[in-house]
Amino acid sequence: MEESDEDFVNSILSDFGNSTIESHQHLCIAIRTTSKVIKSHNLPSSPVVYLDFTISSLELISNGTHPVLDNLTSPADVNHLFDVFLTILSLVIVKVPVDVVRKTRESSSELIATVIVSPSISESAVVDGLKCLEHLFINGEDSILPSDDSPLFNVLSKFLTDSRPDFEEALEFTIVI
């Protein structure tokens, strides 16, 4: 049973809407805006649509072609976009049917791996990205694990050797792989 758009949006707003933390405020603004865009295009209200929208947004931001980039005044603003969309992705990916996750696994894991190695991205965004990679691996086909010469394997190896506690905790899943 798929969660509705309103349930997903309301759960985020309920969890983060009263927070005074700046990143939580950015998340609430982004999820409200995303919801409006999805509704304005008459798209179905489902986690799958949010997954597609979020992945597309991350691709456009990383390529420098997202329309909202024209209105940003500093590189820090771009990093906030990465932060917020990785957070949304980490929240929605667990609500998407496994067969959809499997279909997007290769392209989305490469995108996430590319984004989280940016030196200016926040640690919390990296952790959210690692959570997404964990979900992709757990729900992927066993035969599609990254090989030791793949860019994704190299990214994961980099974080495995990082001693920061947040990264160690987020990467516990890779030890099983």
Reading the block at residue 29, the tokens are 């603004």
Joined together, the tokens standing for residue 81 give: 């976009």
- Name the more confident of 70 and 94: 94
- pTM of the prediction? 0.82
Q: Report which of 72, 73, 166, 172 is spatially closest to residue 116, judged by C-alpha positions.
A: 166
Which residues span the domain enclosing 53?
Answer: 2-175
Give the per-residue pLDDT at 176. 47
Residue 94: predicted pLDDT: 92
- Cβ-Cβ contacts under 8 Å for 53 (sequence gap 6 or more): 34, 37, 38
Name the CA dihedral angle for 135, 138, 140, 146, rounded to a multiple of 10 degrees. Answer: 90
How many domains are contained in the chain? 1
pLDDT digits (tens, 9 = 90+) for 20-43: 998 899 899 999 999 999 999 999
For residue 116, count other CB atoms closer than 10 A to its CB.
22
pLDDT at 136 over 70: yes
Residue 58 tokens, joined: 């991350």
- Res 155 pLDDT > 90: no
